[in-house]
Amino acid sequence: MIKKIKVTTLERILLIFVIILAIFTFSSLIILKNKCMFLENYNPDKIKFSKPENIAVLNVPCGNVIIELYPDVSKNAVERFKLLINSKAYDEVAFHRVIKDKLVQAGDLEFGRKNSLDYGKIGTGASGYGTINSELDSNFKFTKGSVGLARTFKNNTEDSQFFIILQDEPLFEGEYTPVGKVLYGLEILNKIKYQDHSEYVLRPDFINTLRMYE
Amino acid sequence: MRKFIIIFFLLFPILSAKADTIYNLIKIPNLKVYEINTKNKIKYFYASGGFRLGVEKNIECFSSDVKSLSSKYQTIHKNISQYSSNFLKKINLKYIVMCENLSISGTSTAGIPNNLMKTLIIDIKFNKNYFERSIHHEIFHMINDSFSNIFDEKVWKSLNKKKFKYAECSTCTDKINLSTYNKTEGFFTEYSKSTASEDMAEVFSYLMFDKNIVGEKIINDIILKKKVFFLKENILKIDSKFKFDD
């Protein structure tokens, strides 16, 4: 005859605790795996823009980042940026340089493409259109969300690479050519993959698409 | 407490990976912003720790205390404010680095200009008798680096007496005294006699720092008078609105 064992109150509490812990662990794993959870994906069609012809939509793993370009500030740089956007040149190009809470950089069209990524040369590639002159004369304030063209150590070497800053950078003023500012979705860029010990990212995130709105 | 220390050391490498904007811009480590909102758009940094530069790490400078920085900043700012943002842009000067006991290969120096990096490093502990004037001296080197075609050394040398010869370089001579000569004879200081570019820098520094001395000395010194004219004329070619010693 099997003797029936009575469950004590303490054992019941312990069981409930284990179940709660299991649920918490399971849900945490889902949340942690989905880095895009809780982020709003902005639909440009639902937003009214004062200058829609200067709106660019950058689609990245966690959604849309909506950028207003400033041709009045940097005529040539914006012209180059639009040229590359319209030729879909930025699609599937890596965010190869990412500094947590500081900046994301992408646009190496030669060595940063998803199907031909070259870790040894990434960041040094060219677009094939040649370099353009820096446009540094404006009093543009590099506040959080500003978009600028990257360059080498020397001025007048801007090409296709661009960066978006995630914090105010007053020292960038007069150093880098501004092209625009993020209007919506800056928080989405905080989720771009970065590495703690290096500015350059191994197995980086990629731009899905970058398109002009109109 | 022990757990706290372990957690701190686990987190430390993560925290320390944060990028340094100043280093990315001018490749000098251990700098912090002192003042960046200035009328002529010059950005002032100070050394929060010592640094070594150059391929052979032969340039060395050290951090400074807050009190020294504060007083010397006022002096540096006052002197650099004499230059307009337009002029500074033309000569590629944007950043001033303030530090102590600056030296190149062990030899003390007032400043080190770097045209490519748009930077002038200033030793705030440099001899106080010549400190202000030396700022303008170093700025002339920035000017000369940007417009060496204008400041023709051959023309400059021809202004001296025929028998006079400069040394091969500014560091291969013992002519280093910066005191103003009573009897100038074509040179404001002994250091002027080291090289043509140092001579130009010395004349320029007097023009910017003490025009009374310049006025007084050139009355009876025809060579100095020609040198002053040469410099003024060529500086005005760079910026027609340039003002000497405001």
B33: domain CATH number is 3.40.30
Asked whether residue B104 is assigned to any structural domain, the reply reads yes
The predicted structure's pLDDT at residue B168: 74
B167: confidence class by pLDDT, cuts 50, 70, 90: confident
The domains of chain A are located at: 44-212
Q: Which of residues 106-135 of B touch A (CB under 8 A)?
A: 116
What is the pLDDT at residue B19?
57
Q: For residue B11, is pLDDT > 50?
A: no
Q: What's the pLDDT tens digit per position in A42-80? A: 999 999 999 999 999 999 999 999 999 999 999 999 999
What is the β-pairing status of strands B95-104 and B119-123?
parallel
- For residue A14, what pLDDT band results from cuts at 50, 70 and 90? very high
In our burial notation (b when 16+ CB lie closer than 10 A, e otherwise), range B170-182 reads beebebeebebbe
* Strand B31-35 relative to strand B107-108, pairing: unpaired
Rounded Cα gap, residues A48 and A52, in angstroms:
8
Which ranges constitute the DSSP H helices of chain A?
9-33, 75-86, 186-189
| pLDDT (0 to 100) of residue B4 | 46
Instruction: Tell which phi-psi region holds residue A107, choosing left (phi > 0), alpha (psi between -120 and 50) or beta.
Output: left
| H/E element, A64 | strand A63-69
Q: Which amino acid would we find at residue A67?
A: I
In a shared domain, residues B98 and B184: no
Region A112-134 average pLDDT: 95
For residue A133, the model assigns a pLDDT of 97
Q: Do residues B103 and B211 share a domain?
A: no
Q: Does one domain contain both B23 and B131?
A: yes
For B202, the domain range is 147-246
Please indicate whether residue A5 or residue B216 has the higher confidence score (pLDDT). B216
Q: What is the mean pLDDT of chain B?
A: 88
Q: What pLDDT is stored for residue A32 in this prediction?
A: 65
Is A197 in contact with B17 (Cβ distance < 8 A)?
yes
Distances in Å between the Cα of B152 and the Cα atoms of A125, B42, B145 are 40, 28, 12
Mean pLDDT computed over A165-179: 95
Q: For position B18, what pLDDT does the model report?
A: 47
- Cβ-based contacts of A99 with chain B (< 8 Å): 18-19
Q: At what angle do helices B131-146 and B196-209 cross, to 10 degrees?
A: 120
Same domain, B111 and B177: no
Same domain, B105 and B122: yes
Query: Same domain, yes or no, for B117 and B176?
Result: no
pLDDT of residue B170: 66
Q: Which of B142, B165, B182 is the last residue of a domain?
A: B142
Identify the band that residue B55 occupies on the pLDDT scale cut at 50, 70 and 90.
Answer: confident
More confident residue, A118 or B20: A118
pLDDT bin (cut points 50, 70, 90) of residue B175 is low
- Our count of domains for chain B comes to 2
How many C-beta atoms surround the C-beta of residue A190 within 10 A?
A: 14
Closest Cβ–Cβ partner in A102, A172, A174 for B41: A174
Q: How many Cα atoms within 13 Å fall on the side-chain side of residue B203?
A: 27
pLDDT tens, position by position, A25-44: 887 776 666 788 888 889 99
Q: According to the model, what pLDDT value does residue B124 have?
A: 96
Question: Residue B173: what pLDDT?
Answer: 65
Task: Indicate if B159 and B218 belong to the same structural domain.
Answer: yes
The residue-averaged pLDDT of A13-29 equals 88
Kindly report the nearest CA distance between residue B44 and chain A, in angstroms. 11
- Chain B contact set for A197 (CB, 8 A): 13, 17
Residue B12 falls within a domain, yes or no?
no
Is the same domain home to B153 and B138? Answer: no
The Cα–Cα gap between B156 and A165 comes to 49
pLDDT at residue B189 greater than cutoff 80: yes
Using DSSP's 3-state secondary structure scheme, residue B18 falls into coil
Helix (H, G, I), strand (E, B) or coil at B96: strand
Query: Scanning every residue of chain A, which has its alpha carbon at the shortest distance from the alpha carbon of B19?
Result: A99
Record: contact A197-B13, CB cut-off 8 A? yes
More confident residue, B62 or A30: B62
Judged against a pLDDT cut of 60, whether residue A172 lies above it is answered with yes
CA distance B14 to chain A (A): 6
Shared domain for B164 and B235, answered yes or no, is yes
Q: Looking at the predicted complex, does its ipTM rise above 0.85?
A: no
Pairing of strands B43-47, B95-104: parallel
Measured between beta carbons, the chain B residues lying within 8 angstroms of A172 are 21
Kindly state the average pLDDT of the residues A2-31: 83
Rounded Cα distance, B235 and B241, in Å? 10
Looking at the structure, tell me whether residues B166 and B238 fall in a common domain.
yes
Cα–Cα distance measured from residue B119 to residue B44, given in angstroms and rounded to the nearest whole number: 10
> Does residue B13 sit at the A interface (CB-CB below 8 Å)?
yes
Whether B138 and B25 share a structural domain: yes
Confidence of residue A185 (pLDDT cuts 50, 70, 90): very high
Q: Given the DSSP bridges, would you call strands A63-69 and B111-114 parallel, antiparallel or unpaired? A: unpaired
- Which residue bears the tokens 């680095």? B97
pLDDT tens digits for range B67-90: 889 999 999 999 999 999 999 999
Q: Tell which CATH classification among 3.40.50.1370, 2.40.100.10, 3.30.390.30, 3.30.300.30 matches the domain A44-212.
A: 2.40.100.10
- Does residue B84 share a domain with residue B113? yes
Q: Collapse the DSSP code of B217 into the 3-class scheme (helix H, G, I; strand E, B; otherwise coil) and give the result.
A: helix
Q: Is the CB of B33 less than 8 angstroms away from the CB of A171?
A: yes
Asked whether the beta carbons of residue B19 and residue A171 sit closer than 8 angstroms, the reply is: no
- Decide: A78 and A71 in contact? Cβ < 8 Å: yes
A5 confidence band (pLDDT: 50, 70, 90): confident
End-of-domain residue from the set B142, B163, B183: B142
Pick the residue of B24, B39, B42, B115 with the most A CBs within 10 A to test the interface with A by mutation. Answer: B24
Domain boundary among B142, B165, B192: B142
Mean pLDDT within B136-152: 95
B5 is a domain residue? no
Query: B240 pLDDT band (50/70/90 cuts)?
Result: very high
Is A171's CB within 8 Å of B94's CB? Answer: no
- In this prediction, residue B141 carries a pLDDT of 96
Q: B18 vs A199: CB contact, 8 Å cut-off?
A: no
Q: Tell me the pairing of strands A146-149 and A103-106.
A: unpaired
> How close does chain B come to A192, measured CA to CA in Å?
16
Q: What percent of chain B has pLDDT over 90?
A: 68
Among A189-193, B13-17, B132-136, B233-237, the least confident range: B13-17
Q: How many CB pairs under 8 A join A and B?
A: 26
In this predicted structure, the answer to whether residue B49 has a pLDDT above a threshold of 50 is: yes
